[in-house]
Amino acid sequence: MAPHLSNTLVNKFLPGKELALYVHWPFCVSKCPYCDFNSHVRDGVDQAEWRGALLADLAHEAALLPGRQLSSIFFGGGTPSLMDPATVAAVIEAARRAWPASDDIEITLEANPNSAEAARFADLAGAGVNRISLGLQSFDDESLAFLGRAHSASEGLRALEAAQSAVERVSFDLIYALPGDDEARWAASLDRALSLGTEHLSLYQLTIEPGTRFASMVARREFTPLDLDTAATLFELTQERAGAAGIPAYEISNHARPGAESRHNLTYWRYGDYAGVGPGAHGRRLGQRTVRHRKPENFLAGMARNGHGLVEEEVLTPVEAAREALVMGLRLAEGIDPQALAARVGVDRLVDDAVVDRLAAHGLLERTGPRLATTPAGRLLLDSILAEIAA
């Protein structure tokens, strides 16, 4: 067990509790201009070397987390569909050896719709993947070109069919609120998305993240982001149409039919424990926040030197844990139980009840029994709400 943990924090991490595993594959064919994830373009990737590194990093986490039950595995990136299926199979097998898996374990892999990668979907399913998260991003070729995507709209739809043939559970991403977007244009895309037979959709507004190529382009006035009022209108349209189609938002940007929610991501938002392995992977285990080396070469050097890729292990204070749990939990439509969550992280109270009552009177928050949640209007102002209500 990790040193210097309070009894309150230790009590949360009893053997048998569910654990999620995140595996980061850092490589991409090209870097999208909006992307601020830990992704890197390399001329060649030694699959055998990386298989060994990921397995060794996983073994380090497994030794620290005995007796847990594995509820989900998520291969993120980067572009995990570039992984050799044998590498995926080896990681899944090692994880199952390290921890007993729940009967309904969810094993997700993020994938790009390029034809070469879509051809691997059946092999990835054979490796143990049972859920594919597909980065379609748009049904429009012009928008895909703006977003720097390497696939066409027709190629994306063929990849979706291939994913649906390979695994039972498929989700796909779309990005909206692009420059020039309006209600009619986005409504048409949204209606098409809702007709394609998946039970989960991730619908993200374009955000200009610092350090990305889009941030530099905006600074040079090469394009102007969509105005905030129009973006808010498109967000409200998204909530209404997806909800009416039986795929309501269970989180700010994620929509699913009841029972089809991403179990792995729910672990994050419900402030559960997850081990993170691979370059740049974050984790939360044993009352600690963990971070791996971001750059692939630095990660491999750390593995050779230490037997793991860790660059940071920080014990969370109860106040830090409370803030994180509040930020995560209020993203969910189900909200949080402030009293139960405060007791779990070891603080007297999680929220300022007087501020909560005031914001509830304005229609931004709502209480249902012991639970507290944002309203649809409140989700538009979540950052401001969080800054006000934290106790």
Identify the CA nearest to 274 among candidates 8, 83, 13, 41. 13
- The pLDDT tens digits of the residues spanning 189-210 come to 999 999 999 999 999 999 999 9
Give 10's pLDDT tier (boundaries 50, 70, 90).
Answer: very low
- The pLDDT tens digits of the residues spanning 121-148 come to 999 999 999 999 999 999 999 999 999 9
- The pLDDT tens digits of the residues spanning 68-107 come to 999 999 999 989 999 999 999 999 999 999 999 999 999 9
Give 35's pLDDT tier (boundaries 50, 70, 90).
Answer: confident
Q: What is the mean pLDDT of residues 295-306?
A: 97
Count helices and strands (H / E) in the chain.
17, 16
Residue 14 has pLDDT above 80, yes or no: no
CA angle 256, 260, 265 (to 5 degrees): 85
**Which of 13-17, 47-51, 64-68 shows the lowest mean pLDDT across its residues?**
13-17
pLDDT of amino acid 16? 56
pLDDT of amino acid 34? 86
pLDDT of amino acid 31? 84
pTM of the predicted model over 0.95: no
What would the two tokens of residue 262 be?
Answer: 């991403």
Q: How many alpha carbons fall within 13 Å on the CB side of residue 233?
A: 12
Q: Mean pLDDT across the chain, nearest whole number?
A: 93
Question: What is the DSSP code (8-state) at residue 298?
Answer: H
**247-273 per-residue burial string, b: 16 or more CB within 10 A, e: under 16:** bebbbbbbbbeeebbbbbbbbbbebbb
Facing residues of 251 across strands?
254, 332
Residue 248 has pLDDT above 80, yes or no: yes
- The pLDDT tens digits of the residues spanning 323-354 come to 999 999 999 999 999 999 999 999 999 999 99
Q: What is the mean pLDDT of residues 310-318?
A: 95
Phi, psi of 109 (to 5 degrees): -130, 130
Q: Please give the distance of CA 54 from its chain centroid, rounded to a whole number.
A: 20
Give 114's pLDDT tier (boundaries 50, 70, 90).
Answer: confident
What would the two tokens of residue 197 be?
Answer: 């037979």
Facing residues of 69 across strands?
18
pLDDT over 70, % of the chain:
96
Cβ atoms < 10 Å from Cβ of 376: 15
**50-89 per-residue burial string, b: 16 or more CB within 10 A, e: under 16:** bbebbbbbbebbbebbeebebbbbbbbbbbbbbbbbebbb
Identify the CA nearest to 64 among candidates 317, 283, 292. 283
Neighbouring residues of 280: CB distance < 8 A, sequence distance ≥ 6? 24, 26, 38, 291, 292, 293, 294, 299
**7-40 per-residue burial string, b: 16 or more CB within 10 A, e: under 16:** eebeebbeeeebbbbbbbbbbbeeebbbbebbbb
pLDDT of amino acid 1? 33
Which residue shows structure tokens 């594995």?
A: 70
pLDDT of amino acid 164? 96
Question: What is the DSSP code (8-state) at residue 225?
Answer: P
Residue 260 has pLDDT above 80, yes or no: yes
Q: What amino acid is encoded at 376 in this protein?
A: P
CA distance 358 to 297: 51
